Structure 1
Amino acid sequence: MPKLLHVDSSPLHGRSVSRELTAAFVTQWKSSHPHGLVIDRDLNTTSIPPITAEWVGAVYTPEEARTPEQKQLLSLSDSFLSELEEADEYVFGVPMHNFSVPSVLKLWIDQIARVGKTFSYTDGTPKGLIIGKKATFILATGGIYDAQTQMASFNFVEPYLRALFGFLGVTAATFLTAGGTMALNHGQDRDTFLAPHLQAVQTYAQTL
């Protein structure tokens, strides 16, 4: 049974462009995989604490030697890791916040980037441990940050996510971007704006 992990990070919910596009992706994916399972993870309804010294200490304590308190500290991280491992494919909804990813997504990343779980080092060489997975990142940006545009150098979302997930072993990554969403705040018809992006997402999802 194929499994898809669906992660949303926008705080806008019903007004979110990235959420509407990931929902369309999931609908098409379900149509293509009628016996598939979708694991939904809304990072804005999940309380994710920042990394602490105690958390780091728990991570570097051998599993068999961890105290009950340390196991509790890692329980949320373990849940996230279980979802990543269980799924065959991932789809992430990512709005650009201040040229980078939303804070809740960064908190999630800090929980899943764990030595011995999602990456390792052998003789000083890093190795990603999340292998054989496909990831689709659906980005929504207020401005236009496409390559060769004036603002391209301000886009730290795609380079960061591509580098981070590549480091963890997810090299089959596709990025679909809905740029210029600020137009929706200035009278642009939402359906007209979304139509080509919905079509692109649905067309791509059909290939998976």
Structure 2
Amino acid sequence: MTAISHTHKSRAVFRPAARMIAIIAALFGFSLFGQGLWIHAKAQLAQILLERAFAETLATGDPVKPWSWADTWPVARIEVPRLAESAIALHGASGQALAFGPGHIDRSAKPGGDGTAVYAAHRDTHFAFLKDVNIDDDIKITGQDGRAFHYRVTGTDIVRWDHSGIGTRANGKNLVLATCWPFDSATSGPMRYLVKAILVE
């Protein structure tokens, strides 16, 4: 009788603890879900403001900040017509810049210029579409001077961030779009996914 009573007491103590653990887990899940929604909403809103600033840049010829406190500004529009994908790229690739759009890597070539133009962005927002880019796809880059350049995709590569093999002063007129890899990972890692293209004269 005592053993049975002790078992019932143990179960009675366990049930509230299990409920509490379930509630905490649910709240944590909702928090992560909300954070994911916020990241995507922020990325979409930022692109609207960046589009406006880039349009003003094209009209005036002067760099225009998307919001007053920004330490960066739009420098190009990246488009993949086959996928109906488009994103405004920002000057520099700091963490703050990449939170709002692709970043143009410092000291890499400008659109249409000699060497390699390199743009980087997050795999879960602005460059999520890179996994669907195919060889021979057209990538259109419009610079802040309004000139548009078309690049043809020649291949993709998966490399370590510190062994990318990207030569910003390489011969020819090249383009690289870079993001983290693998695409379905929830954590950052050392590997990068590169889409490589050459200018179509």
Q: With structure 2 as the length reference, what TM-score do the two structures score?
A: 0.23
Rg larger in 1 or in 2?
Answer: 2
Q: With structure 1 as the length reference, what TM-score do the two structures score?
A: 0.22
> Per residue, is there more helix in 1 or in 2?
1
> Per residue, is there more strand in 1 or in 2?
2
Q: Which structure would you say has the larger RCO, counting Cα contacts within 8 Å and 6 or more residues apart?
A: 1
